[in-house]
């Protein structure tokens, strides 16, 4: 989990490429576009940038991009499904660059979205930002999870418990698992040079999930949002490697 200066430099370069690809793919989101078209667009950019998709063929996942709409939380396979006005979509993408992975996710509104749904997206994004502010040496992963959980629940939403963030590097998923809930001062202590993904997944209703194909959806079919960044721990805080 702790990376060398050389490894971090490579991952920063990969993260810059990844954020460019995901930003451009997100700009294609609009009513009428299919999730398959979004994946095809992302795959073209991946090829142009001479990187490899982290998720394609990982545990038999068939595509580069995860496209989770509305009650779909993560790992939904792109399809001929057309986005509709009022939907929300989470785009989750990872790339492999010079032997190292980076990973990120964003949730976007499709057309005109109602205010409560927009509030869910904003709260999830802010929960990630609050978690990132707690990333510094000698804090614990429990501090991060507690900060995210308290903010999300204070907004009237719930944090998914069955899925979590993770270490990252030569493998797309490395130890440790990083929960988005928990108790202060609990869990592994954060150290300089650690590289990991923090990724709150937040629901408008119950946090419990059910499996659907490759992906997970909310058990009560409530809406879900997801934001993720790859970051490295520095002496006094952290540096996000996948910022737009």
CATH number for the domain harbouring residue 211: 3.90.230.10
pLDDT for residue 1 is more than 90: no
CA distance 93 to 102: 9
pTM assigned to the model: 0.97
pLDDT for residue 112 is more than 90: yes
Q: Which of 31, 53, 238, 234 is nearest to 132 (CA)?
A: 238
What is the three-class DSSP state of 149?
A: helix
CB 90 within 8 A of CB 74: yes
Into how many domains does the chain fold?
1
Please calculate the CA angle 184-131-56 and round it to the nearest 5 degrees: 120
What is the three-class DSSP state of 27?
A: coil
**What rounded mean pLDDT belongs to the chain?**
98
DSSP assignment string, 172-211:
SSEEEEE-SS--TT-SPBP-TTBEEEE--EEESS---EEE
Residue-range definition of the domain harbouring residue 16: 5-240
Mean pLDDT of the 194-210 span = 98
């Amino acid at each position: 989990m702790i990376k060398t200066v050389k490894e971090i430099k490579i991952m920063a370069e990969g993260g810059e490429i990844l954020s460019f690809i995901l930003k451009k793919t997100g700009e294609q989101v609009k009513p009428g576009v299919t999730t398959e078209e979004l994946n095809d667009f992302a795959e073209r950019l991946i090829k142009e940038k001479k990187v490899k998709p982290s998720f394609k063929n990982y545990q038999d996942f068939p595509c580069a991009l995860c496209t989770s709409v509305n009650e779909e939380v993560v790992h939904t396979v792109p399809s001929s499904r057309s986005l509709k006005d009022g939907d929300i979509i989470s785009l989750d993408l990872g790339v492999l660059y010079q032997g190292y992975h980076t990973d990120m996710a964003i949730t976007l509104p499709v057309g005109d979205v109602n205010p409560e749904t927009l509030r869910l997206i904003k709260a999830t994004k802010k929960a990630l930002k609050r978690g990132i502010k707690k990333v510094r040496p000698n804090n614990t992963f429990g501090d991060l999870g507690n900060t995210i959980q308290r903010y999300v629940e204070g907004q009237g939403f719930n944090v998914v418990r069955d899925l979590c963030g993770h270490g990252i590097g030569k493998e797309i998923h490395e130890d440790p698992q990083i929960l988005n809930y928990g108790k202060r001062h609990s869990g592994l202590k954060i150290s300089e040079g650690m590289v990991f993904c923090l990724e709150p997944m937040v629901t408008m209703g119950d946090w419990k999930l059910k499996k659907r194909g490759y992906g997970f959806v909310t058990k009560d079919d409530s809406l879900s949002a997801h934001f993720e960044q790859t970051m490295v721990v520095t002496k006094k805080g952290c540096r996000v490697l996948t910022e737009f």
